[in-house]
Structure 1
């Protein structure tokens, strides 16, 4: 059973939940108001800051902000905070009529491509309520990065589709989504040596081979809904991580097994999660290059190495095997590795000195690599932090190199050889390089960790003066902060690539160099 379009997803999910997990029916109903506010808050952020063509102007007032639409209507809501992660928007008014659900507001706005987006918002709200409903009370603190990832309940901190899972039934969400803490049994698809398009790079392990046949781990949802055929019997048990399609293998004890990225051809938040043939072919080259560049950060950054990858010649059937981030915690030293997206769950960011020190570490690493010629997509999912036994941030771990940007000109300036790569990873465009890093690291990871504009501004104003004075630091201090226009991207299906907007500069107390 799959949920129908908005505005019926909440009720449809409740009906299905009553059949498969009746014990969650009451917690789900209790979680709905908070989930509605969380998604509406993300949508209000987009309406307040993105260059949406049907918004003529924005007018701040003493009691909030009024958006003047091009058709003459007015939409009023509270004062927006682009970095807030709590559901502080419980209602907005369109020409005086209250709306407390993002899907119904989007339907009422009646903008181009808004109907499909409204359905996604409805799905996101219902799925978020389900995720919140299925959380344990208390329990021991996680000991591995994979366990910390299961504590990330709300998904993307700023995308209104933070929990949209189109094509997943309730039973499938409970069986495959990390916040529900399942064990997922992956299938194994067999490829013979002569299979057209079959490509293996790196060290593909014996456990995923059967003589001359290559075995490709397949997510069960992918096997059922996309490949339309069952994978070979057997398979392997794994623990899903926050991207849903990447799973931790339990080899060698908690946190010790490699991470496996599988193809999952469903649109989650903004993107379809398949694995292109090109990304498999260049995976080992990018991994080796990133490891070399990370060595120039004086031990402040490690990159999880790609161990091997395989593709059947189609984005729908491929897999990538990577080192686990926990490999970079000092053995026996009591260190732990935590995804940046999970940091709010630790309680550490509530300390102003801790947040400033974390910002200093993040910016020191990010700006150093950018100066060398590598712009990381350092959002809260790709970036992890190694914490000391006392909780101090000591170094960073980065994973998933598919979307980094590399500048040949900057590399040459520092005498770093250019890897044998072409295509979208390579650019000397200064704006593109800074957008990639600043939009993910500052507007994304740091903003969500701070949780509000005042907290982020204070942390950055403390951290930035200690950083080397480079042209990129000047840009970060003096210019508006780039961030992806996530909602406009979903409302622009005929456009490809990222769409950007700008947030006001945060560094009011830092003098530009």
Structure 2
């Protein structure tokens, strides 16, 4: 059924040059990678509020989508919380499609051509990542970046889970955490008077009247184009790819201006200006969780008056692991086998909801997806407490904070809102429809964990909204097909508890 796509062929050609030993494994991984991306895409087609889908009919044998142009699309039942690749093909007017990029091309919706190219790149890059994966042994990793390397498939629900346009095969092998590289960061000198700096900028990143801004080597070569920077220190890339762990503990968030999954990421002056204030406030607020949550502190942030040349220095989450304990991103939990235990999953869910809902009640909605949220495990694997990193996308409610006698920080802009829907979407969409669903791996498993966990939670209006309404999740495909509409778009997923009942 499948014809090799141009991007699959291109990556194979580049791989034959860079790592000929991986070519056969890459080819063997392509069908499974296409199915993984197609599964994510089918989830979106079956559940997101896409204006090109007129009607959805769920029957005994699957789902039928009646499109606005009169065509019909048929596929299997779409569990919005499933993480296995269960969709091998769908049928558009009776014609089978096993390639998500070809399906999106033939759907012919606005902006579908660009999205189709990203889907093709996502599948090919995912096959490359799987071809080079290292089998997880029984021994748990000893370093924080080693946990990040275990997350091979990327975002559990985004069709662009491994899309890295602009990255060659050599780039992916050199910089992708799943390929286990060590990356030599560079520095670019900038006159201190031209920089915005908050926090403590270390002496090793100062040179007289100049600040030395840490820069990812891909950024200096592809974006800044001012010649190579000065070699600085070797670091290990984390899941976000643009954040790297230095030996000794500090994490460096670089301004890597590449499109990863949905967005082109940078570090704005607003983020630099707010970084230390936000960090200090969040650290104090976390103290109200009775030791169940720690927030990694921002040590310093700087920008050279450009979102393409900036950096943030943060402490490592490992600072919050005691003797014999491990701290790992929630996205890596699936590699441990722990979520296979219903009792363990319920306990972890209870911990995560206790912390998330407590902070939401106080007035802070975390962007608690599997990359930002980490869990501290005991030596036996019991979930003890949580660690949160990267505060750039949280939301603060001055009204809720004030109601609890907490003085809101002096911040403005997109971080601040009192809108109840916005606050709940931020937390529920990232934590429940994201981190917890990705850890559970299916709707039934998520429902069982939630049902057990919520029995012990305080009855609040936020908990009622979580249990009784549809579950919000970012409409990731709609957002990619609507580039003219800024900001988040949302889907209302069937509540897993209601679906079970």
Normalised to the residue count of structure 1, the TM-score between the two structures is: 0.95
Distance apart, 1:194 and its partner CA = 3.1
**Cα deviations by residue, 1:56-110 (Å, 9 ceiling, x for unpaired):** 1111111111100011111000000001111110100111111001000001111
Conserved? CA contact 2:105–2:113, under 8 Å:
yes
Distance in 2 (CA, whole Å) between partners of 1:187 and 1:327 is 25
Say if 2:221 and 2:228, in contact at 8 Å, map to a contact too.
no
In structure 2, the partner of 1:122 is: 120
Q: Residue in 1 aligned with 2:105?
A: 107
- Determine the C-alpha separation between the residues in 1 that align with 2:57 and 2:351: 37
Deviation per CA, 1:147-173, whole angstroms, max 9, x where unpaired?
100000000110000000010010010
The answer to whether the 8 Å contact 1:144/1:337 transfers is no
Work out whether 1:290 is the aligned partner of 2:282. yes
Contact preservation (8 Å) 2:136, 2:150? no
* 1:322-333 pair list within 5 angstroms: 322-330=314-322, 332=323
**1:137 shift after superposition:** 3.4
CA distance in structure 1 between the partners assigned to 2:207 and 2:68 by the alignment: 62
Residue 166 of structure 1 aligns to a residue whose secondary structure is coil
Q: Report what 1:273 is aligned to.
A: 265
Secondary structure of residue in 1 paired with 2:304: strand
Does the CA-based 8 Å contact 1:218-1:231 persist in structure 2?
no
The secondary structure found in structure 2 opposite 1:79 is coil
* Residue aligning to 1:175: 174
- Of 434, 438, 441, 1:448 maps to 438
Partner of 2:151: 152
- Pairs within 5 Å for 1:111-260: 111-139=109-137, 140-195=139-194, 198-251=195-248, 257-260=249-252
Tell me the distance in 1 between the aligned counterparts of 2:143 and 2:29: 28
Q: Tell me, yes or no, if the aligned pair for 2:65 and 2:73 is still in contact at 8 Å.
A: yes
Q: Secondary structure at the match of 1:319?
A: strand
Unaligned segments of structure 2, at least 5 residues: none
Q: Which runs of 5+ in 1 are unaligned?
A: 1-5, 252-256
Secondary structure of 1:30's partner?
A: helix
> Which residue matches 2:303?
311
Specify the alignment match of 1:301 in structure 2: 293
Shift of 1:138: 4.6
Instruction: After superposition, give the CA deviation of every residue in 1:383-425 in whole Å (9 maximum; x if it has no partner).
Output: 0000011100010000000111000110011000110100001
CA distance in 2, matches of 1:111, 1:227: 35
What is the DSSP-based 3-state SS (H/G/I as helix, E as strand, rest coil) of the residue aligned with 1:264?
A: coil
The Cα offsets for residues 309-359 of structure 1, whole Å up to 9 and x where unpaired, read as 1100110000000010010001x2x10001000000010000000000000
Q: CA RMSD in A?
A: 1.2
Cα displacement (A) at 1:136:
2.2
Following TM superposition, by how much is the alpha carbon of 1:207 offset from its aligned partner in structure 2, in angstroms? Answer: 1.3
Distance 1:445 1:374, change over 3 A: same
Give aligned pairs, total: 497
**2:428 counterpart residue number:** 438
Asked if the contact 1:146/1:241 (under 8 Å) is kept, the reply is yes
**Could you report, residue by residue, the CA deviation over 1:259-311 in whole angstroms, capped at 9, with x for unpaired residues?**
00000111111111110011001100000000011000000000000000110
* Equivalent of 1:67 in 65, 84, 88: 65
Q: Kindly indicate whether the alpha-carbon contact (under 8 Å) linking 2:44 and 2:475 is maintained by their aligned counterparts in 1.
A: yes
Superimposed CA distance per residue, residues 190-225 of structure 1 (whole angstroms, 9 cap, x where no aligned partner): 012233xx1111011111111221100010110001
8 Å CA contact 1:465, 1:510 repeated in 2: no
Measure the CA separation in 2 of the matches of 1:21 and 1:225: 23
Determine the C-alpha separation between the residues in 2 that align with 1:117 and 1:265.
19
Q: Is the 8 A contact 2:444 2:500 kept in 1?
A: no
* Post-superposition offset of 1:510: 10
Of 391, 399, 406, the residue aligned with 2:396 is 406
Deviation at 1:509, TM superposition (A): 9.5
Alignment of 1:498-509 (within 5 A): 498-508=488-498
Q: For 2:145 and 2:292, locate their aligned partners in 1 and report how far apart those are by CA, in whole Å.
A: 21
Structure 2: how far apart are the matches of 1:79 and 1:507?
Answer: 18
Match of 2:335 among 333, 345, 349: 345
8 Å Cα contact 1:461-1:510 kept in structure 2:
no
* Aligned mates of 2:405, 2:86 — CA distance in 1: 49
